[in-house]
């Protein structure tokens, strides 16, 4: 017996809605199409909203730290995290040293900020100079802590790559 066209369409729609509400599906979508693809698919699948929000809630935040103001106000120490499930920015603890052009990465659940250009340290107030300062915000902590300075000296404009397979309990960062 072949179901009526409306019943068949409803059954197929029900199956699709249930399948796309599974977090595993969203993991595959994000792997193949990225987070933008997941959000695009979310707009056309009613039942998918539960699955995608659950999946995105398992991901770490997108973190934006430091920088400078366009109006000449100088470097900033603000840190913001984007909750990927709600797509809302939330303020995080501020950097100890306002800086721009720094490297930032996540290492074993902690946010690490390295080098950059900062004001202070006996330098003229209006000019940012390279720094070797390093800060870390551990998961669940209320603020950044100062770490030993970079052994390579002051740097800015670098990129950081976290290496979790090192022997160090805190991980390793390559610049």
Q: What are the boundaries of each domain within the chain?
A: 5-57, 95-174
Instruction: Match 């398992």 to its residue by tokens.
Output: 58
Distance of CA 47 to the CA centre of its chain: 26
| pLDDT the model gives residue 164 | 67
Number of other residues whose CB lies within 10 A of the CB of residue 76: 16
Chunk the chain into consecutive blocks of 10 residues (it has 175) and report each block's average pLDDT, rounded to whole numbers.
55 54 60 64 54 66 86 85 84 94 87 89 68 92 94 89 68 69
Contact, 51 vs 80, CB < 8 A? no
Number of other residues whose CB lies within 10 A of the CB of residue 78: 14
| pLDDT the model gives residue 47 | 47
| pLDDT the model gives residue 30 | 65
In eight-state DSSP terms, residue 93 is P
**Buried b / exposed e across 19-28, counting CB within 10 Å, b at 16+?**
ebbbeebbee
Cα→Cα distances 94→72, 90, 113, 135, Å: 20, 12, 11, 11
């Amino acid at each position: 017996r072949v179901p009526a066209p409306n019943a068949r369409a409803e059954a197929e729609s029900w199956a699709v809605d249930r399948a796309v509400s599974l977090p595993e599906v969203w993991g595959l979508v994000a792997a193949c199409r990225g987070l933008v693809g997941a959000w695009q698919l979310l707009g056309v699948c009613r039942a998918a909203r539960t699955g995608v929000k659950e999946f995105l809630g398992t991901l770490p935040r997108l973190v934006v730290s430091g920088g400078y103001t366009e109006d000449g106000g100088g470097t900033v120490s603000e840190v913001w995290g984007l909750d990927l499930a709600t797509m809302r920015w939330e303020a995080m603890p501020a950097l100890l040293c306002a800086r721009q052009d720094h490297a930032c990465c996540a290492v074993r659940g902690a946010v690490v900020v390295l080098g950059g250009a900062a004001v202070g340290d006996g330098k003229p107030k209006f000019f940012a100079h390279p720094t070797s300062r390093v800060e870390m915000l551990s998961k669940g902590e209320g603020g950044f802590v100062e770490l030993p300075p970079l052994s390579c000296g002051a740097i800015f404009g670098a990129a950081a790559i976290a290496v979790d397979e090192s022997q160090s309990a805190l991980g390793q960062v390559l610049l």
